[in-house]
Structure 1
Amino acid sequence: MNDPVRILVVEDESAIQQFVEEALTDGGFEAEITQSGEEALSRFRDGRSGYRALLTDIGIGAGPNGWVLARRIREIDPDLPVVYMTGGHAAEWKSQGVPNSILIEKPFAPAQLVTAISQLLNTGSSPV
């Protein structure tokens, strides 16, 4: 049996955390939820979790926002798939987002989230 595909999720709102976790689980993924960019970066740098993608909100409270977090993680793993979630920063994606990323606007359907992650994973990135 294959190990589940682990997704690092950065979201500071509990209702959205639950929604995202359910959507990813239903889609066959394993979600590991963090509430801040610093915590996510620390977990990613640890390297033992084998994350296959980053799913991050843009506005995640104190510390690095989703744009900065994705750039820092891409310095460690240039090919890691990144999916941004936002309710109000979509216009900034072209200038702030990392290359080969996807942005989905809130509110979104569970299928949109699973499709975005699957699309990026199918381009051939490798685990950390």
Structure 2
Amino acid sequence: MSKAVRVLVVEDEALICSFIEDALSAGGFEACSVSSGEAALSTFRDGRERCRALLTDVNLGDGISGWELARQIREITPGFPVVYMTGASAGDWKSQGVVDSILIEKPFAPAQLATAVSQLLDTGASPG
């Protein structure tokens, strides 16, 4: 059996993070969770976790936002799958989000997370 696909999860609220980890696990994914954009960037750059997708909250407290995090990761790896999660910032997605990303609004059902990640991994990045 192949190893579960690892997803880099960035969520600064522990309860929500735990919910996301469970939802991904139920969907056949493995979560690699961090609580800030800065931690996510260093984990991604380090490369040891071999994450295949980014699942990030938009509002991450004092550090860089989920919008900025996704842009920086895309500079390193163009086309990297990105799923944003937000309760309040959905309206900014068109102007702030990276191309070919998905946004899910909080509160969401656990299955929505796994479905969103699966969609991006199945389709891969479309050129252009």
Q: TM over 0.5: same fold?
A: yes
The total of aligned residue pairs comes to: 125
Structure 2 unaligned blocks of 5 or more: none
- Counterpart check, 1:4 vs 2:25: no
Q: TM-score, normalised by structure 1?
A: 0.95
- The 1-side partners of 2:66 and 2:102 are apart by 13
Task: Give the 4+ runs in structure 1 shifted more than 6 A.
Answer: none
Shift of 1:68: 0.1
- Aligned-residue CA RMSD (Å): 0.8
TM-score (norm 2): 0.95
Q: How does 1:105-120 map to 2 (within 5 A)?
A: 105-120=105-120
1:22 & 1:98 partners in 2: Cα distance?
26
Identity across aligned pairs (percent)? 66
Ranges in structure 1 where 5+ consecutive residues have no aligned partner: none
Letter in 2 for 1:33: S
C-alpha distance in 2, partners of 1:5/1:59? Answer: 25
How far residue 96 of structure 1 moved from its aligned partner, in angstroms, is 0.1
Q: Which letter maps to 1:90?
A: A
Is 2:81–2:124's contact at 8 Å kept on the other side of the alignment? no
CA distance in 1, matches of 2:11, 2:48: 21
Q: Which amino acid aligns with 2:36?
A: S
